[in-house]
């Protein structure tokens, strides 16, 4: 008995954070095979693809029937479909990992993994890799829908398709990692699933909502000098002469709170999308992604000092130059998502380490 026990668990201490390719491949392989044997998963992927594609075709068909031309609205529709894929993906992804650890702990099968030579980090990473593969399958199933809107507006460039797929993939990977962390922390699979969904909602819209609430709380009185027109061209109505009007306005300090927006995947997607020039936009088309990106960067500039009606074009050019000089918002957002995923993974590994110094009430080790 002593020899068998020694063979199954070595006496030399092994770091629980050690990760090997073989160990991760073993765990991920078992999890993937278990997922593929589930008919529910295959049905979910098919339904996901049908819903996304049907949603896209319905949008294109509706716009074509109303406007008789989808070219002028194709750029807007692309952003709408991209956001639709991102939002629906956030609703599906938690189911891929939110019960991966506590369900096995409840059924007593987690001990099978913990009794092997696999480290807690290898178990967590293997389960995470399987969830990631499932999330990537969702992105691949949604790719035809995104390509449909790109075909309707090829002038915006293929870079937007790649950017959209990249941000959606990253977001789903983060959501899967968050689900893994919650499944390791919470005892009930139902509780971990619900909490993961709440975290996904907070990740998507929590920051923008909090930003809107703090806008009314963080402000200051600013002296604004507006150059108001007093004489106009009788033919073109263009301002010819302006006079300064000094007023004091209470303006929100959005330059201090814009960071609340940076972590939202919707803002990250909009800001990461390649900028479209006026030459690449048809007349009458609206770029939703570009508009959101410009709006967020404008918020970073803070209070305005005034407006010159006689030099509106120069004012717009100066504002654009000031926005372009700022560091991209999406870079900060990606760092936040990566840090969130890393923290969730660390949390999952810590909960898998045995022996446990302090066991929460009602929790079983395996």
Q: In this model, does residue 45 exceed pLDDT 60?
A: yes
pLDDT of residue 249: 79
Please tell me the number of Cα atoms within 13 Å of 343 on its side-chain side. Answer: 7
Radius of gyration of the chain (CA): 26
Backbone phi and psi for residue 242, each to the nearest 5 degrees, phi listed first: -130, 155
More confident residue, 79 or 276: 79
pLDDT of residue 284: 54
More confident residue, 5 or 145: 145
Helices (H) and strands (E) in the chain, counts: 16, 2
As a whole number of angstroms, the distance between CA 142 and CA 165 comes to 9
Q: Output the six-digit token pair for 220.
A: 């200051």
Q: Output the six-digit token pair for 222.
A: 């600013």
- Burial zone of 75 (CB within 10 Å; 0-12 exposed, 13-18 middle, 19+ buried): buried
Condensed to tens digits (0 to 9), the pLDDT of residues 214-265 reads 888 888 887 777 777 777 777 777 777 778 888 787 888 888 899 999 999 9
More confident residue, 355 or 12: 355
pLDDT of residue 11: 42
- Per-residue DSSP letters for 79-112? HHHHHHHHHHHHHHGGGGTTTTTHHHHHHT-HHH
Give the distance, in angstroms, between the CA of residue 166 and the centroid of all CA atoms in the same chain. Answer: 10
- From first CA to last CA, the distance across the chain in angstroms is 22
Banded pLDDT at 3 (limits 50, 70, 90): very low
As a whole number of angstroms, the distance between CA 100 and CA 182 comes to 10
Q: In this model, does residue 61 exceed pLDDT 60?
A: yes
Condensed to tens digits (0 to 9), the pLDDT of residues 194-217 reads 999 999 999 999 999 999 988 888
């Amino acid at each position: 008995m002593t020899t068998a026990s020694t063979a199954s668990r070595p006496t030399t201490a092994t770091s629980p954070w050690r990760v090997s390719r073989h160990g991760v491949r073993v765990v991920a392989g078992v999890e993937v095979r278990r997922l593929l044997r589930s008919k529910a998963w295959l049905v979910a992927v098919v339904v996901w693809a049908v819903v996304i594609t049907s949603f896209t075709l319905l949008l294109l068909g509706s716009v074509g029937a109303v406007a008789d031309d989808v070219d002028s609205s194709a750029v807007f529709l692309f952003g709408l479909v991209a956001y639709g894929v991102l939002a629906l993906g956030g609703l599906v992804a938690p189911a891929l990992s939110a019960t991966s650890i506590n369900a096995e702990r409840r059924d007593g099968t987690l001990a099978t993994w913990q009794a092997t030579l696999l480290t807690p980090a290898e178990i967590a990473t293997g389960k995470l890799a399987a969830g990631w593969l499932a999330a990537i399958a969702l992105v691949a199933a949604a790719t035809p829908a995104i390509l449909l809107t790109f075909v309707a507006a090829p002038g915006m460039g293929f870079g937007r398709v790649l950017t959209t797929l990249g941000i959606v993939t990253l977001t789903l990977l983060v959501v899967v990692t968050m689900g893994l962390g919650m499944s390791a922390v919470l005892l009930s699979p139902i509780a971990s699933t619900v909490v993961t969904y709440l975290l996904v909602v907070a990740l998507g819209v929590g920051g923008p909502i909090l930003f809107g609430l703090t806008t009314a709380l963080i402000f200051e009185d600013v002296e604004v000098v507006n150059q108001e027109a007093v004489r106009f061209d009788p033919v073109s109505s263009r301002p010819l002469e302006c006079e300064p009007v000094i007023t004091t306005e209470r303006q929100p300090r959005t330059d201090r709170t814009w960071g609340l927006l940076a972590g939202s995947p919707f803002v990250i997607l909009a800001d990461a999308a390649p900028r479209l020039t006026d030459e690449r936009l048809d007349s009458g088309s609206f770029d939703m992604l570009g508009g959101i990106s410009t709006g967020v960067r404008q918020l970073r500039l803070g209070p305005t000092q005034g407006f010159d009606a006689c030099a509106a074009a120069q004012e717009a050019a100066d504002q654009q130059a000031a926005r372009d000089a700022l560091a991209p918002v999406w870079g900060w957002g990606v760092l936040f998502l990566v840090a969130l995923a890393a923290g969730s993974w660390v949390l999952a590994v810590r909960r898998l380490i045995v022996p446990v110094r302090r066991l929460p009430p009602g929790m079983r080790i395996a």
